[in-house]
Amino acid sequence: DVKVTQSSRYLVKRTGEKVFLECVQDMDHENMFWYRQDPGLGLRLIYFSYDVKMKEKGDIPEGYSVSREKKERFSLILESASTNQTSMYLCASTRPANTEAFFGQGTRLTVV
Amino acid sequence: SQQGEEDPQALSIQEGENATMNCSYKTSINNLQWYRQNSGRGLVHLILIRSNEREKHSGRLRVTLDTSKKSSSLLITASRAADTASYFCATDPGSNYKLTFGKGTLLTVNP
C-alpha cells in the first residue's frame, strides 16, 4: 500500500517559532509538493520539488522555505510562524508525468 | 494564481440523482485530473484525462474535456450518501512539473 506520511496530524505553535513540517513518501516518486488549504480558497501551491535538492516556488511561497535532501523526504519550514499561517497543510507526491498525486493525511497547524 | 476553477461551489442533491461539476482552466494542459476529499482528510485521485482525450469513464464517473473551451466536467451517476465530499480538479501543464488545484465543489448527497 503506497503511502505519503506527514509527521503530525495536529500541531500548535507560538508566533515567532520556527516550524518544521515533514513529509515522507515510499513510492520513489520524483515530484513532491506542499499545499495549504483554507476555506473558500481551495488548495494553493506553496513549493514543489522535481528532484533531490531542487525546489521551485509555487503560488504563495512567502514566509516558507523547503528542503529536499533525500528523494523520499520533503520538509516545509516556517521560519517565523505567524497567525496567518494557521491552516491545513497537505503534502503530495507524483511521478514525473504527474499522472496521479498521492496525498498525506494533512497537518492542521494552529499558530497562536 | 490557481489554474482550475470549479463550478458550482456547492451542490446538494438526493440519493440516486446525478451530480455534475465543472472545471475551467486558463492555460494549455498536458492532463486534467479529478480528486475527492472527505472532510479534514487528504485528497484521493479519481480519474485522469489527457489533453488528446475527450471523454473517459470509471465506474459511476464520467469525465469530459473540451480543450477549445478550456473546461472539463465530472459526472457522478446514481449518487450515494457516501459520495458526499469535496471534489477538486487539478491541471498539469506538462512543462514545469507544477500541479495546481482549484477551489473545489462541495457535494452533499442527502439520503
Q: pLDDT by residue (tens digit) across B18-64?
A: 999 999 999 888 999 999 999 888 899 999 999 999 999 999 999 99
Closest CA to A100 of B63, B87, B47, B86: B47
**Who contacts B64 (Cβ-Cβ below 8 Å, separation ≥6)?**
B49, B54, B55, B72, B73, B75
Say yes or no to pLDDT of B95 above 80.
no
For range A5-23, the mean pLDDT: 96
- Under an 8 A CB cutoff, do A43 and B1 touch? no
| Contact call for residues B79 and B18 (beta carbons, < 8 A) | yes
| A94 contact B CB<8A | yes
Could you give the CA distance from residue A79 to residue A44 in angstroms, rounded to a whole number?
A: 19
- Under an 8 A CB cutoff, do B97 and A42 touch? no
Query: In chain B, which residues have their Cβ closer than 8 Å to the Cβ of A98?
Result: 30-31, 92, 94, 97, 99
Query: In chain B, which residues have their Cβ closer than 8 Å to the Cβ of A109?
Result: none
Instruction: Give me the pLDDT at residue B4, please.
Output: 73
| A50 contact B CB<8A | yes
Instruction: Give me the pLDDT at residue B5, please.
Output: 81
Instruction: Give me the pLDDT at residue B41, please.
Output: 85
| A79 contact B CB<8A | no
| A58 contact B CB<8A | yes
Q: Which residue of A has its CA nearest to B9?
A: A40
The three-state DSSP-derived secondary structure of chain B is CCCCEEECCEEEEECCCCEEEEEECCCCCCEEEEEEECCCCCEEEEEEEECCCCEEEECCEEEEEECCCCEEEEEECCCCHHHCEEEEEEEECCCCCCCEECCCEEEEEEC
Instruction: Give me the pLDDT at residue B96, please.
Output: 67
Enclosing H/E stretch for A1: none
Say yes or no to pLDDT of A44 above 70.
yes
**Who contacts B6 (Cβ-Cβ below 8 Å, separation ≥6)?**
B21, B22, B23, B87, B88, B89, B102, B103, B104, B105
Say yes or no to pLDDT of B6 above 90.
no
B interface mutation test: which of A30, A34, A43 has the most B CBs within 10 A?
A43
Task: Compute the 3-state secondary structure of chain A and give helix, strand, coil in percent, each to the nearest 5.
Answer: 5, 55, 45
Instruction: Give me the pLDDT at residue B83, please.
Output: 97
* B51-66 per-position pLDDT tens digit: 999 999 999 999 999 9
Residues present in chain B in total: 111
Residue from the list B33, B42, B48 with its beta carbon closest to the beta carbon of A106: B42
| B68 contact A CB<8A | no
